[in-house]
């Protein structure tokens, strides 16, 4: 039971979201111009929810809601970053 909880618990999901956030932030820092500022502002807003997940004891449905919200925000930010990169090439 302990191994199952370690592999599939909330802490695992939160660590995975933090890692994804870090990777997107590193890639966004390499961007140039006003597009970079827009990406970093969105990442900062998402970090507040991520920090809440990491530091506060929340009930299960609040954790699930915040995890899904952070996950959707990260997908949106990554898509914007990739779209900006394509527009830059053209």
Domain ranges of the chain: 2-89
Say which residues have a Cβ less than 8 Å from residue 6's Cβ, sequence separation at least 6: 12
- The answer to whether 86 and 35 have CB atoms below 8 angstroms apart is no
Q: Report, in angstroms and rounded to the nearest whole number, the Rg of the chain calculated over CA atoms.
A: 15
What confidence tier does 6 reach under pLDDT thresholds 50, 70, 90?
A: low
| Strand, coil or helix: 12 | helix
* Selection from 25, 1, 13 nearest residue 60 by Cα: 13
Per-residue model confidence as pLDDT tens digits over 49-63 = 999 999 988 898 999
CA of residue 68 relative to chain centroid, distance: 10
- Asked whether residue 69 carries a pLDDT value surpassing 60, the answer given is yes
Query: 17-35 pLDDT, tens per residue?
Result: 999 999 999 999 998 878 8
pLDDT at 38 over 70: yes
Least confident residue range of 6-10, 35-39, 71-75, 82-86: 6-10
Rounded CA-CA distance 18/89 in Å is 29
For a pLDDT cut of 90, what percent of the chain falls above it?
Answer: 61
């Amino acid at each position: 039971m302990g191994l199952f909880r370690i592999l599939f618990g909330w802490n695992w999901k939160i660590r995975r979201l933090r890692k994804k956030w870090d990777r997107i932030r590193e890639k966004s820092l390499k961007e140039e111009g006003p597009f970079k500022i827009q990406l970093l502002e969105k990442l900062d807003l998402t970090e507040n929810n991520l920090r809440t997940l990491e530091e506060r004891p929340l009930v299960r449905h609040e954790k699930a809601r915040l995890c899904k919200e952070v996950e959707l925000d990260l997908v949106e930010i990554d898509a914007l970053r990739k779209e900006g990169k394509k527009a830059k090439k053209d």
